[in-house]
Structures are given as structure tokens and as C-alpha cells.
Amino acid sequence: FQINMDEIEVLGELGKGNYGSVHKVFHRPTNVKMAMKEIRLELDESKLNGIIMELDILHRAKAPEIVEFFGAFTIESCVYYCMEYMDAGSLDTLTGGGVLAKDQKDGEPQTNGDATTNGNTDGTTSSAQERVPEDVLRRITAGMIRGLKFLKDELQIMHRDVKPTNVLINKKGEVKLCDFGVSGQLEKSLAKTNIGCQSYMAPERIKSETANQNPTYTVSSDVWSVGLSIIELAKGCYPYPPETYSNVFAQLQAIVNGAAPTLPPGYSDDANDFVAKCLLKDPNQRPTYAQLLEHPFLVADKDAEVDMVGWVNAALERRAARGISSLNPIQA
């Protein structure tokens, strides 16, 4: 079905990205709550229509680890992109960092679990910051890798922007990827300026972008970004903290030439080995998705019982305690 703005009721703001905001909306004809991303672009109508056509491939991107796409349309110079609403938001906001809209209203935790028992590997007490238990981290990682493998194998696309803000989770504990590079025209128009401050780009990508060469993307650049994202989730902050470096250049230097970051203490050798392999400086040495799925770290996830629902709800409670909400209501 085709979605248009007349059928949509805006419920509140979910967050702001680099290029526009994301709202929670209600689609009346289908009775479905969706997330609608507004991307403001200064483009003529034919280019905008080109983007809508390119986005059409997303109707084929149906997998348990991919945020479902419902449709896109344009109004004036904006592209509106409607997708599955993930009611616990992005992973960065659950594990420590992240900036979301103020005013808790929706997305409140449905506490059906004890906040002090999350996962089965540790039973530490709840606090504003809490280590992500290894079994939860492993399940999140497995979902990310399966999602990326699906994009590559079934749609022949790479993600290009793997980072914790682009990994969404819901209260059912499902982990899904969003914001992958599906439209060449859209990518070009957004002229990704996320080099700097918090870069998840692999060293080889940083090198080619700073040298103004044509960017060399390979799937293994996404593998680097997975490794960095896992560490960020475990640490609760970006692994190359900006305050450590005198400027962005020094920070990028550290990514390209410095020792790769590691997980904080307390994780298994398998977890550490997995991350180290993702963060190998030479992209050709990094494992493929198939190899990563066979890594002991992820093999252990296969039949594991992981209380993802309990973890999400406890993490939502901690997020609420930090004063971050997942929805900034527009209408009272």
C-alpha cells in the first residue's frame, strides 16, 4: 500500500538525527503505529522521485533483524520514510549514552521483571550505568551479524553506517538494524559528514576519505563498525572518547594507527577474541559474516536462553532514572 501524510497522525518526537527528526506516528488506514523519519534535502523533484524509487528495494528487506519499511513519500523538499516503530529506541540510549527527547510519556518500562536480575550471567544491582551481561551482548551481536549478512546475501548491499544509534530494540527484546545505505542518490545528497567526533568508520575508510579519494567500502568495513559498536555497548560510551584527544585529527589518527580498543574487564576470552578480530586493522584479515557466526562467542548464543525482555525493561527503567525518555509528546 501507498502511504501519504493525510493518513498520518503525529504522536510525538522520538529523536533527532543529523538530517532531520523521527516522529512516532499513527497510520489510520492500517491502525499501525510507525516511526516516520523526515529527511530535509535541497533537491529538485526528479531527484526526490529517484530517491523514492530507490527506496523501493526496502520492500524486499524483510527479515527478523531488519526494521520493517512501510513506505516513503515526499513533500516539498523533504523525504518522509515510514518504518516499524521500535518501542525501546536505539541501543546507545539503553546502555549509557544517547540523547533522546525529554519528558517521559510513552515508552515507559512495563516492569514485569526485577530490575536487579537482568540476564543470567550476573546479578548485579541496578544503577544508572550497568554492565551489559555477556549473554545479552552476545544476542545483540548475533542479531546484528545476521541482519548484515541478510543485507549482503539477499539484497547485495552493505550497511555503511553501523553504530549503536542505528540498532533498535523493542520491549519484546528484538534487535533490528535500520538506516542502511540503500539509495545511492540519498547517500550522495546527505554527503555523510560523520567523519569526526564519533566516527565508526574503519581505518581504511578514514584513510581514503581524508585523502579525498573515492571511498573504498567493503563489507569488512562494516565488520569494524560492529566491533566498535559492541565495545561502546559494553562500556556505555564511545571507545575513542573525544576529551582524550586534542582535536578530531588526533582522534582519527588513533583509530587508524593506535591500538584497537578492547572490551572492559569482565567479559570472556571468546568475547574478547571476537571483538579483536572485528577490529583488525587490515580489512582483508577480518572475518566474514559466515565466519563470525561460527565464532565460539556467537555459537554459544544458538541455544541459549537469554532474558532479553527482562534486560530491556530493566534498561528502560535505568534510562528513565537518567531522565531520558523515548518520546517527546507533541499533543498532550
Closer by beta carbon to ligand ADP, 179 or else 301: 179
User: Of these, 9, 10, 18, 45, which contacts ligand ADP (CB under 6 A)?
Assistant: 18
**In this chain, which stretch among 119-127, 162-170, 208-216, 255-263 interacts with ligand ADP, using CB under 6 A?**
162-170
The number of beta carbons lying within 10 Å of the beta carbon of residue 251 is 21
Q: Does position 85 bind ligand ADP by CB under 6 A?
A: yes
Cα(66)–Cα(54) distance, integer angstroms? 17
Size of the site for ligand ADP (CB under 6 A): 22
Q: Does position 66 bind ligand ADP by CB under 6 A?
A: no
User: Of these, 74, 165, 183, 225, which contacts ligand ADP (CB under 6 A)?
Assistant: 165
Q: Does position 35 bind ligand ADP by CB under 6 A?
A: yes
Residue holding cell 576529551? 243
Q: Of residues 100-159, which lie at the interface with ligand ADP (CB under 6 A)?
A: 100
Alpha-carbon separation of residue 59 from 56, 70, 182 (angstroms): 6, 7, 11
Q: Does position 67 bind ligand ADP by CB under 6 A?
A: yes
- Can you read off the three cell numbers belonging to residue 10? 503525529
Please give the angle made by the CA atoms of 102, 192 and 328, to the nearest 5 degrees.
Answer: 10
Task: Give 77's contacts (C-beta < 8 A, 6+ positions apart).
Answer: 40, 41, 42, 43, 48
Q: Does position 166 bind ligand ADP by CB under 6 A?
A: yes
- Can you read off the three cell numbers belonging to residue 37? 523519519
User: Of these, 12, 71, 89, 310, which contacts ligand ADP (CB under 6 A)?
Assistant: 89
User: Of these, 3, 8, 15, 132, which contacts ligand ADP (CB under 6 A)?
Assistant: 15
Three-state secondary-structure class, residue 297: helix
User: Of these, 3, 8, 14, 61, which contacts ligand ADP (CB under 6 A)?
Assistant: 14
C-beta separation of 295 from 270 below 8 A: yes
The torsion region of residue 130 among left (phi > 0), alpha (psi -120 to 50) and beta comes to: beta
62 is in an annotated binding site: no
Closer by beta carbon to ligand ADP, 15 or else 203: 15
Cα(1)–Cα(227) distance, integer angstroms? 38
Q: Does position 79 bind ligand ADP by CB under 6 A?
A: no
**161 is known as an active-site residue:** yes
87, 135, 161, 179: the catalytic one is 161
* β-bridge mates for residue 38, sequence order: 80
User: Of these, 3, 11, 83, 136, which contacts ligand ADP (CB under 6 A)?
Assistant: 83
Closer by beta carbon to ligand ADP, 169 or else 280: 169
Q: Which string of DSSP letters, residue by residue, matches 18-73?
A: SS-EEEEEEETTTTEEEEEEEEE----HHHHHHHHHHHGGGGG---TTBPPEEEEE
Binding residue positions:
37
Task: Give the catalytic positions in this structure.
Answer: 161
- Numbered residues of the known binding site for ATP: 37
Q: In the complex, which residues of this chain contact ligand ADP (CB under 6 A)?
A: 14-18, 22, 35, 37, 67, 83-86, 89-90, 93, 100, 165-166, 168, 178-179
